Amino acid sequence: MTDLRIGVIGYGLRAPLVAHAHQPGRGSAVVAVADPRPERRELAESTFGAFTTPDADELLKADLDAVFVLSPDHLHVEHALAAFDAGIPVYLEKPLAITVADADLILARARSSGVKVYIGHNMRHMSVVRTMRKLILDGAIGEVQAVWCRHFVGHGGDYYFKDWHAERAKGTGLLLQKGAHDLDVIHWLAGGYTRRVNAMGALSVYGRVTDRLASPQYKTGHDWDEYRGNWPPLAQTGLNPVIDVEDLSMVNMALDNGVLASYQQCHFTPDYWRNYTVIGTEGRLENIGDTPGSSVHVWNRRHRGYAEPDVVVRIPEAEGGHGGADPRIVAEFLGFVRAGGATLTSPVAAREAVATGCAATESLRAGGVVVDVPALAEELVAYYERGQVE
């Protein structure tokens, strides 16, 4: 098998992901990396022996078979369109874009250029999500009627408020940037897409922190040993000079299939995990922890008051980042580049997560008014449901 020649645009926080694509002699190799920061280019060159450049356009001339676009969110549209123009299949990190118009433009241009696009919603490959979805498909709780997600972002002040994530201009808001994962999972578990939202939120804590960086910086990783002493949240230091996004948000959603859902996100909790509750016509399930070795609990008999679960399903052990999701999603993308076919991730679903996040942010900033979520053009839905085949 000839190795696929892989390029990378943006060698920052998601840099560990592309290590799974560097398997010289076994199907793929990272041969080119573009990043504006000299230290990141040096790291990529020493890690992969790759050609490096500060210029994404220069990278796209490097005879590539596929490219990972891992740049900051506001650059996704620019880099994806350039790759389409170069005829190179794209792995585009979530969120697809930071506006609905740009998300729709990306999907339309991918179709018109005939170039494959794959969106990096890796939570569809996480063991906890796969476990919950299998239980739902197996009928463990009947027909889904409600999905609730509480997202405790314990390191929000250590990361998301110390770089570009804190700026509306570069990400719209954390209800989209961080919530895109969960909005997609809610849709997947519920079997439908959001068509109407209302939301509330605030910059409750980090707007009060006055210790700021003199100029914006880019975080390139998470370091628990560094974060451990950063408590309480109001004692944080070195925050981004611009902070105009919310650190607390809540959104209610009405889906096209009648399911009701809610998503709650807080960036100043002492713990960091996601808790999903899915309620059906014959029971409910809930994950207790979201890492391998944790569990999903199912209640599907009548009980009076609190009761121990009727069924406990352990989340399988898995190797690799994000509960085994990272190696799985890279393998799926590379297989899609080679042979096409169905994938767990979905460009349409990725667009619907962006549309929901944008509508929710609009509602939040307008005082909680109800906002309709626009649907994707039917011809684009059909194209992507066919597996990107005309």
| Residue 389 scores a pLDDT above 90 | yes
- Residue pair 354/96 in contact by the 8 Å Cβ criterion: yes
| Residue 104 scores a pLDDT above 90 | yes
What digits encode the pLDDT tens for the residues 226-271? 888 899 999 999 999 999 999 999 999 999 999 999 999 999 999 9
The confidence score (pLDDT) of residue 248 equals: 98
3-state secondary structure of 3: coil
The confidence score (pLDDT) of residue 225 equals: 83
What digits encode the pLDDT tens for the residues 168-200? 999 999 999 999 999 999 999 999 999 999 999
The confidence score (pLDDT) of residue 228 equals: 86
Confidence of residue 339 (pLDDT cuts 50, 70, 90): very high
Query: Can you give the length of the chain in residues?
Result: 390
Pairing of strands 51-53, 28-34: parallel
The CA R_g of the chain, rounded to the nearest whole Å, is 21
Average pLDDT of the residues of the chain = 96
What digits encode the pLDDT tens for the residues 141-153? 999 999 999 999 9
**Separation of alpha carbons 166 and 247, rounded Å:** 9
What digits encode the pLDDT tens for the residues 33-50? 999 999 999 999 999 999
**Separation of alpha carbons 39 and 331, rounded Å:** 28
**Separation of alpha carbons 124 and 98, rounded Å:** 20
Confidence of residue 13 (pLDDT cuts 50, 70, 90): confident
The confidence score (pLDDT) of residue 108 equals: 98
Kindly report the pTM of this predicted structure.
0.97
Task: List Cβ neighbours of 64 (8 Å cut-off, separation of 6 or more).
Answer: 5, 6, 7, 31, 32, 86, 88
The confidence score (pLDDT) of residue 185 equals: 98
The confidence score (pLDDT) of residue 221 equals: 75
Strand order in the sheet with 144-152: 311-314, 295-299, 283-288, 273-280, 144-152, 260-266, 248-255, 194-202, 371-372
Supply angle C-alpha 124, 95, 98, rounded to 5. Answer: 160
The confidence score (pLDDT) of residue 323 equals: 86
- Residue pair 89/112 in contact by the 8 Å Cβ criterion: no
Phi, psi of 66 (to 5 degrees): -165, 155
- Residue pair 268/156 in contact by the 8 Å Cβ criterion: yes
| Residue 1 scores a pLDDT above 80 | no
Higher pLDDT, 1 or 40: 40
For residue 93, give the H/E element and its range: strand 90-93
The confidence score (pLDDT) of residue 136 equals: 98
Fold of 124-314: Dihydrodipicolinate Reductase; domain 2 (3.30.360)
User: Percent of the chain having pLDDT more than 70?
Assistant: 100
Q: Quick one: tokens of 250? A: 């809540």
